[in-house]
Amino acid sequence: MRDPSRRDTFRIAAGLAAGTVAGAIPDLSAAAADARADEARRRYLTPGDEFGDVSRGDPVPHSLRGEALVKARLTPEAWRLEVVAEGKAKVPSPRRIDDGTAVDLATLAKLGEAKGVLFLKAMQCTNIAYPLGQGLWEGVPLREVLRLAGPMKEVRRVAYWGFHNDDPKQLFRSSLAINQVLDTPPGELPPLVAYRLNGGPIPLERGGPVRMIVPWAHGFKSIKWLRHVVLTNDYRANDTYALEDNDPESYLKTAAYIDDDEREATFATGTPAIIRGTAMVGWPGLDRVECWLRPIPEPAPARAAELKDDDPAWATATWKACRMDPPPSDLAAELPAGVDPARIWGFGRDGRPREWPMRYSLAPWSVTLEGLKPGTYELRARAVDRNGFAQPEPRPFAQRSGMNGIQARRIRIGDGPPRAGR
């Protein structure tokens, strides 16, 4: 899977340089470096500080330090969560900051001992194609936190937001229908008030000490630096993203992405060309990933050209099934020390996933192309969901309800004739 910042690649390169005798040239082909970078990218869990970051604020909340951090209630000791009702909506025991009844981290962790949920979830922004990272999160269902305020009345929606430098313009808020919070179907994941990531506290950078995680939704529902939960009778989604023309109720789409799609992949003639990718397994599940390899007549343009929706090539495209990676064979080695895999949502008592690929997580795939003649090609990939819809269907909008356009990666076999435009 890809580290969006490409830090892996740099770190590997730096490590190798450090390990060589001063003055010696590292004995490493570009292909071997690529293979090692690939391996690092295909780690199952993304370290908390290596996710792609989507954060508002000036300064961003995770740049605060010292007293400013305490004032913002973003240290474990200072953190508090308000759970209140507004207007017609009522709760008997609101949890407020001003009267000292707000929920603290110890209370949340105590609830977690009885009701905690451990689950895998990839974070994906509705406006960025490639997922930002995948974590093993732990939290308490939001419905259990709401119970702390007592039986509610006249509630239709739950609105919530985090720390935002007390500047209304920096507010980033989200909301859920009350039934999405309370009436979790058996076997499904509820919205969670999360306080652990990859076996440790959620780092400040990822929205800690506490952030909301809505498993089935794009990132904008998963509010970082969570501080306020408000029960309301207002039926409208008041999400910040709704105001920006996004679809505030969109569920995660299932879509295949190609690793390093912007970079041309080059292979010597006669060697197998392995292309890797990552599928986001959304609400409708994933049946398979398919690829289409298209030779580009020489002289090929320097960059992959966009294939317009009405291009006749789509109609005659031949899509072939790609290989899905199985679950990591040594899953225990991929998990943080001390984590019992049997506790993870969707895993069986044997510590293996019951269903694969799993919803809300990343499914790595690959395709091996052999016997290709020297020349230039474009590889396209699409996911087919469990309802039989091939990406970009069922909603062929590239944006606003999740980016699921079909990606292309250029492949070059052999030296080939010179390129046009160079």
Ligand X SMILES: Nc1nc2c(c(=O)[nH]1)N[C@H]1C(S)=C(S)[C@@H](COP(=O)(O)O)O[C@H]1N2
Nearest residue to 161 via CA among 222, 73, 99, 241: 222
Nearest residue to 216 via CA among 281, 287, 172: 281
- Alpha-carbon distance 273 to 271, whole Å? 6
Task: Decide if residue 57 touches Mo ion (CB under 5 A).
Answer: no
Helix (H, G, I), strand (E, B) or coil at 409: strand
- Alpha-carbon distance 160 to 176, whole Å? 9
CA 32, 33, 34: angle at the middle one, nearest 5? 90
Both tokens assigned to 212:
């909301």
* Nearer Cβ to ligand X (123/413): 123
Smallest separation, CB 390 to Mo ion (Å): 25
* Nearer Cβ to ligand X (79/172): 172
* Nearer Cβ to Mo ion (164/409): 164
**Residues of this chain that bind ligand X (CB under 6 A):** 51-56, 123, 125, 132, 162, 172, 206-207, 219-220, 222-225
Smallest separation, CB 155 to Mo ion (Å): 27
Closest residue by beta carbon to ligand X:
219
Structural element, H or E, at residue 12: helix 7-18
- Alpha-carbon distance 272 to 370, whole Å? 5
Task: Decide if residue 40 touches Mo ion (CB under 5 A).
Answer: no
54: alpha, beta or left, given left = phi > 0 and alpha = psi -120 to 50? beta
Among ligand X, Mo ion, none, residue 119 binds (CB under 5-8 Å by kind): none
One residue of 54, 171, 296, 369 binding Mo ion per CB under 5 A: 54
Among ligand X, Mo ion, none, residue 296 binds (CB under 5-8 Å by kind): none
Smallest separation, CB 220 to Mo ion (Å): 5
Among Mo ion, ligand X, none, residue 51 binds (CB under 5-8 Å by kind): ligand X
Q: How many residues does this entry show for the chain?
A: 422
274: alpha, beta or left, given left = phi > 0 and alpha = psi -120 to 50? beta
Smallest separation, CB 55 to ligand X (Å): 4
* Burial (CB count <10 Å: 0-12, 13-18, 19+), residue 190: buried
Smallest separation, CB 3 to ligand X (Å): 12
Smallest separation, CB 136 to ligand X (Å): 14
In the block, residue with structure tokens 């392995």: 274
Task: Decide if residue 148 touches Mo ion (CB under 5 A).
Answer: no
In the block, residue with structure tokens 């009778």: 233
Smallest separation, CB 196 to ligand X (Å): 14
Among ligand X, Mo ion, none, residue 2 binds (CB under 5-8 Å by kind): none
- Interaction with Mo ion in 212-231: which residues (CB under 5 A)? 219-220
Return the half-sphere exposure (C-beta side, CA atoms, 13 A cut-off) of residue 348.
6
Peptide bond into 185 cis (omega under 30): no
* Nearer Cβ to ligand X (239/290): 239
* Nearer Cβ to Mo ion (222/376): 222
Q: Are 169 and 247 in contact (CB under 8 A)?
A: no
Structural element, H or E, at residue 15: helix 7-18
Among ligand X, Mo ion, none, residue 222 binds (CB under 5-8 Å by kind): ligand X
- Alpha-carbon distance 25 to 47, whole Å? 31
One residue of 125, 307, 324, 331 binding Mo ion per CB under 5 A: 125
* Nearer Cβ to Mo ion (36/400): 400
User: What b/e readout covers 169-187, taking b as 16+ CB neighbours within 10 angstroms?
Assistant: ebebbbbbebebbbeeeee
* Nearer Cβ to ligand X (162/364): 162
Smallest separation, CB 39 to ligand X (Å): 23
Among Mo ion, ligand X, none, residue 160 binds (CB under 5-8 Å by kind): none
Among ligand X, Mo ion, none, residue 339 binds (CB under 5-8 Å by kind): none
- Alpha-carbon distance 389 to 350, whole Å? 32
Task: Decide if residue 242 touches Mo ion (CB under 5 A).
Answer: no
* Nearer Cβ to ligand X (361/376): 361
Among Mo ion, ligand X, none, residue 274 binds (CB under 5-8 Å by kind): none
Task: Decide if residue 369 touches Mo ion (CB under 5 A).
Answer: no
Smallest separation, CB 254 to Mo ion (Å): 18
* Nearer Cβ to ligand X (206/410): 206
Task: Tell me how far the alpha carbon of residue 167 is from its chain's centroid.
Answer: 28
Cβ neighbour number for residue 2 with a 10 Å cutoff: 26
* Nearer Cβ to ligand X (133/364): 133
Smallest separation, CB 43 to Mo ion (Å): 23
Both tokens assigned to 139:
């939290």
**Binding stretches for Mo ion (CB under 5 A):** 54, 125, 219-220
